Amino acid sequence: MPRASKQILDAIAVLKQGGVVLFPTETAYGLAADALNSRAVRRVFEIKGREPGKTPPLICADRKTAEEYVTIDPLLVPLVDAHWPGALTVVGKVGKGLASGVVQNDGTVAIRVSPHLVAKALAKGIAGPIVATSANVSGLATCYSVSAFLKQLKAAGHPLPDLIIDEGPIPRRKPSTIVAVRKGKIVVLREGSVLVVL
């Protein structure tokens, strides 16, 4: 568990109660919520000002947990083997129990296993997937510091997260790479930190 374990335990308690946590990841700051709690997912959308149909990606603490909720296409398994934990998000069919707000109309969801200690601890703490959408007001720049995100929220008049884990400014990195299988072929939906050569 990360150094500030009291803060992590407080954040896990907030997530279990349906709250939203601002937290650092390996790519940028993100907003976390229990991906099984529809009310919590709606709160994330309210904070970001995100359109309901634009589903957020998820993070799991480990591959075993991820595969309990999402079916990974066999074509993507070699990529998962090579890059999890890491900044590779895969799109797969939903297996069970996720809030409707995180599931696309076609029954798929985007998920990854993060190597970041805080992200991993939060997901492990609730024993399931967390929403892990980037911390920014929809349409504005991704935030690499808490102060930048709070400035966006204040200007937009959006509500605040219930708890903030502030690790100070973090390095500017590309977002996770998103891959899916369409018509029997791997497609890169978003180019990011992980280079996928097809």
* Domains of the chain as residue ranges with CATH: 5-190 (3.90.870.10)
pTM for the whole structure? 0.94
**β-bridge mates for residue 133, sequence order:** 31
CA 102 to CA 175: how far, in whole Å?
Answer: 18
Instruction: Tell me whether strands 108-113 and 88-94 are parallel, antiparallel or unpaired.
Output: antiparallel
Taking CA atoms, 3 is separated from 11, 66, 85, 118, 154, in Å, by 14, 25, 20, 9, 30
- Please tell me whether residue 112 adopts helix, strand or coil conformation: strand
Q: How many residues does the chain have?
A: 198
Residue 100: predicted pLDDT: 86
Residue 4: predicted pLDDT: 53
Residue 53: predicted pLDDT: 81
Residue 116: predicted pLDDT: 95
Q: pLDDT per position in the chain (198 positions), as tens?
A: 445 589 999 999 999 999 999 999 999 999 999 999 999 999 999 999 998 788 999 999 999 999 999 999 999 999 999 999 999 999 999 977 899 899 999 999 999 999 999 999 999 999 999 999 999 999 999 999 999 999 999 999 999 999 999 999 999 999 999 999 999 999 999 999 999 987
Residue 98: predicted pLDDT: 95
> Which residue carries 């204040």 as its tokens?
154
b/e map 62-99, b = 16+ CB within 10 Å? eeebbeebbebbeebeebbeebbbbbbbbbbebeeebb
